[in-house]
């Protein structure tokens, strides 16, 4: 087989009346013999066939077939045109149509060789001296194969230099099959990237007599011609970012500091108005600051407690309690509590973590336009609170993040960061995408890329649970059923969290069995406390097989805690709403009591 790298090959076959039927059969066999030696496929060698006489007919283009069987079937179905010999016209068609990207040719920047194999048995009835040089200048390498009555001068005018390697004259049609075997060796050549120690850091590209090194997108080749360096698109200082410029693969993006969101111009930043969320519970005035908000009384009054209207007995809102997870007020005091499955440490504030349980967790968050910048900041807080409760390390839990809208973007893969602090910093730098809601495309990306070993997922033989958490706020604009099914069939435990206009049917399709314990819904971003009970399913296998067995209670508990803690975070994020509701109820009761006392006095 010819395995020197991908090629784009188009056969240009003479089917004029001078080619008799039995002779045309040998030309069919010649094409099939050549194709049989090629490694064909969409990412390997692509093949097209055109025939010509007084006109040109496309048999199949470079994008039509990617298997030898389909190509051979189409070649066997060719009916010769049996008219004149317009070879120049055929060359023009190959250049203007057959070798275009619309017809399946790879773009020039990919440097895939474009090869035209012209097989003819006579003298052209039009001029080839104009079209052939244009085709060669367009990057098409032309082999001219003449049979029996072919004109040698015309063959030389068509072919690429050096002529001794691109011009062939076969004495008869009976010898073309034998010639085909020799031509295969000429076409394939030697893969210099395999034959030599190339030393290329990224990729090696073989040429007929040598090779050269190429860099991946976003990198440039160093002066040594072998190693690559990332292109720093921020270095020239022309990015215009108000806060921070982040270079990535030859491009850049502007990021904002914590507490700010990126404006539509993608360069300037505005402070998040936390007071506009409507959950501040301030009695008088709410004042936004970069990392949150505080309450302020009108002139002449003092804050007795942060929210003023919260009873003084609620010490959790009146003191710096320092609880790692949650503070619970008691009569005249308070205490710290931990999520289910964790124990309070000796300091009365910190929570124990089950460090032996390992998971590969990929969170897929909706960045569509309907989410809005303020709510997207809540989603980022939600992600970071999950990270706070995980034992992140290269050999422990790994975390990846994907954002999607009309397209999908890996914010960071599973093998990018090795500590919770690194992940949380990266999450805060995530730029809101806006636009559409292609949840199906995001699921496809997660299955094909996010959980690949290339991006840091542990091999299935290690029995590290793979967990996908999809967070969306609306109906998907594409089909989700196929990739939701493939995700679960590939062993990914899927959780679906829907907010606002999310569609329950789609959430259920995403979620693993039992569905009721793997999907949740809330009316808006600030009232998600009822999701707590939906994540209590123990997904730890009773007995696993392979190199690593998950049997210890701590390992199992870690998986249980992922489900419980995820929604506990949602509960914590909206704790102020609960306090506000409780405080409002207490205020109402007080007013009713005062009204009753006034009525009694009257």
Give DSSP secondary structure letters for 5-42. Answer: S--EEEEEEE--TTS-HHHHHHHHHHHHHHHHTB-BST
Q: Which DSSP helix (H) or strand (E) runs through 69? A: helix 68-76
Q: Which of 112-121, 190-199, 363-372 has the lowest mean pLDDT?
A: 190-199
304 contact partners, CB below 8 Å, separation of at least 6: 312
Percent above pLDDT 70 for the chain: 77
Q: Which long-range contacts (CB under 8 A, 24 or more apart) does 225-228 make?
A: 226/198, 226/199, 226/200, 226/201, 227/201, 228/201, 228/202
Q: If we measure between CA atoms, which residue out of 500, 566, 491, 572 comes closest to residue 534?
A: 566
Tokens of 127: 């001029």
Q: Which of 40-54, 268-282, 432-446, 584-598 has the lowest mean pLDDT?
A: 584-598
When pLDDT is cut at 50, 70 and 90, the band that residue 6 belongs to is confident
Q: Which long-range contacts (CB under 8 A, 24 or more apart) does 24-31 make?
A: 24/80, 26/173, 26/174, 26/176, 26/177, 27/119, 27/147, 27/173, 27/176, 28/75, 28/76, 28/78, 29/176, 29/177, 29/180, 30/119, 30/176, 30/177, 30/179, 30/180, 31/75
- 9 with 40: CB under 8 angstroms? no
What pLDDT is attached to residue 99? Answer: 95
Q: How far is Cα 36 from Cα 28, in angstroms, rounded to an integer?
A: 12
Quickly count: other Cβ atoms within 10 Å of residue 343's Cβ: 10
For residue 514, say if its preceding peptide bond is cis, omega within 30 degrees of 0: yes
Residue 428 has pLDDT above 80, yes or no: yes
- 309 with 280: CB under 8 angstroms? no
Pairing of strands 56-60, 114-120: unpaired
Q: Which DSSP helix (H) or strand (E) runs through 155? A: helix 152-158
Q: Which DSSP helix (H) or strand (E) runs through 519? A: strand 519-522
DSSP symbols for 357-412 = ---EEEEEEE--GGG-HHHHHHHHHHHHHHHHTS-BSTTSBEEEEEEESSSEEEEE
When pLDDT is cut at 50, 70 and 90, the band that residue 293 belongs to is confident
> Given CA atoms 554, 562, 424, 323 in this order, what sign does their dihedral have?
negative
What pLDDT is attached to residue 494? Answer: 92
Terminal C-alpha separation, the chain: 105
Residue 561 has pLDDT above 70, yes or no: no
Pairing of strands 46-52, 56-60: antiparallel
Q: Which DSSP helix (H) or strand (E) runs through 600? A: helix 575-601
266 contact partners, CB below 8 Å, separation of at least 6: 253, 254, 431
What pLDDT is attached to residue 182? Answer: 64
- 266 with 275: CB under 8 angstroms? no
Q: What is the DSSP letter of 180?
A: H
Tokens of 295: 């309450």
pLDDT tens digits along 155-205: 999 999 988 888 888 877 777 766 766 666 666 666 678 777 889 999 888
When pLDDT is cut at 50, 70 and 90, the band that residue 351 belongs to is confident
What pLDDT is attached to residue 358? Answer: 78
Largest separation between any pair of C-alpha atoms in the chain: 126
């Amino acid at each position: 087989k010819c395995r020197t790298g991908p090629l784009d090959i188009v056969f240009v076959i003479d089917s004029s009346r001078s080619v008799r039927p039995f002779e045309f059969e040998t030309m069919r066999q010649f094409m099939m013999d050549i194709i049989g030696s090629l490694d064909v496929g969409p990412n390997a060698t692509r093949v097209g066939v055109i025939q010509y006489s007084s006109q040109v007919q496309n048999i199949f283009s470079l994008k039509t077939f990617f298997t030898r069987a389909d190509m051979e079937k189409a070649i066997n179905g060719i009916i010769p045109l049996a008219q004149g010999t317009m070879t120049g016209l055929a060359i023009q068609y190959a250049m203007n149509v057959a070798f275009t990207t619309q017809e399946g040719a790879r773009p020039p920047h990919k440097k895939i060789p474009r090869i035209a194999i012209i097989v003819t048995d006579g003298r052209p009835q039009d001029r080839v001296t104009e079209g052939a040089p244009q085709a060669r200048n367009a990057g098409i390498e032309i082999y001219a194969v003449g049979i029996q009555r072919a004109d040698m001068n015309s063959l030389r005018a068509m072919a690429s230099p050096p002529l001794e390697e691109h011009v062939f004259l076969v004495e008869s049609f009976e010898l073309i099959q034998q010639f085909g075997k020799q031509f295969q060796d000429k076409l394939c050549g030697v893969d210099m990237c395999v034959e030599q120690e190339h030393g290329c850091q990224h990729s090696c590209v073989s040429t007929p007599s040598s090779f050269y090194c190429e860099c991946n997108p976003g990198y440039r080749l160093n002066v040594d011609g072998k190693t690559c360096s990332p292109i720093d698109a921020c270095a020239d200082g022309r990015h215009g970012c108000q806060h921070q410029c982040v270079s990535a693969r030859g491009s850049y993006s502007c990021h904002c500091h914590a507490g700010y969101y990126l404006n539509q111009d993608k360069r300037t930043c505005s402070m998040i108005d936390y007071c506009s969320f409507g959950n501040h519970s301030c009695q008088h005035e709410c004042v936004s600051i970069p990392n949150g908000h505080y309450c302020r009384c009108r002139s002449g009054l003092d804050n007795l407690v942060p929210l003023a209207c919260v009873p003084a007995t609620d010490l959790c809102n009146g003191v710096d309690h320092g609880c790692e997870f949650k503070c619970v007020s008691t009569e005249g005091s308070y205490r710290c509590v931990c999520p289910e499955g964790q124990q309070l440490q000796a300091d009365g504030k910190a929570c124990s973590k089950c460090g032996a349980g390992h998971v590969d967790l990929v969170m897929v968050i909706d960045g569509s336009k309907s989410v809005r910048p303020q709510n997207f900041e809540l989603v980022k807080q939600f992600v970071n609170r999950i990270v706070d409760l995980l034992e992140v390390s290269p050999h422990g839990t790994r975390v990846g993040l994907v954002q999607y809208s009309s397209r999908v973007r890996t914010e960071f893969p599973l093998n990018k960061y090795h500590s919770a602090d690194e992940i949380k910093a990266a999450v805060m730098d995530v730029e809101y995408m806006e636009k559409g809601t292609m949840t199906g495309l995001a699921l496809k990306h997660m299955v094909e890329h996010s959980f690949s070993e290339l991006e840091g997922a542990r091999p299935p033989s290690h029995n590290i649970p793979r967990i996908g958490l999809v967070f969306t706020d609306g109906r998907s604009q594409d089909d989700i059923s196929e990739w939701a099914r493939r995700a679960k069939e590939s062993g990914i435990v899927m959780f679906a969290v829907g907010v606002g206009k999310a569609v329950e049917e789609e959430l259920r399709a995403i979620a693993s069995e039992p569905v009721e314990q793997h999907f949740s819904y809330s009316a808006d971003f600030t009232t998600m406390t009822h999701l707590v009970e939906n994540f209590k399913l123990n997904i730890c296998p009773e007995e696993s097989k392979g190199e690593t067995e998950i049997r210890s209670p701590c390992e199992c508990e870690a998986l249980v805690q992922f489900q419980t803690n995820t929604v506990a975070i949602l509960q914590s994020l909206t704790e102020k709403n609960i306090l506000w509701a409780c405080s409002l109820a207490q205020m109402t009761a007080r007013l009713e009591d005062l009204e009753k006392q006034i009525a009694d006095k009257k």
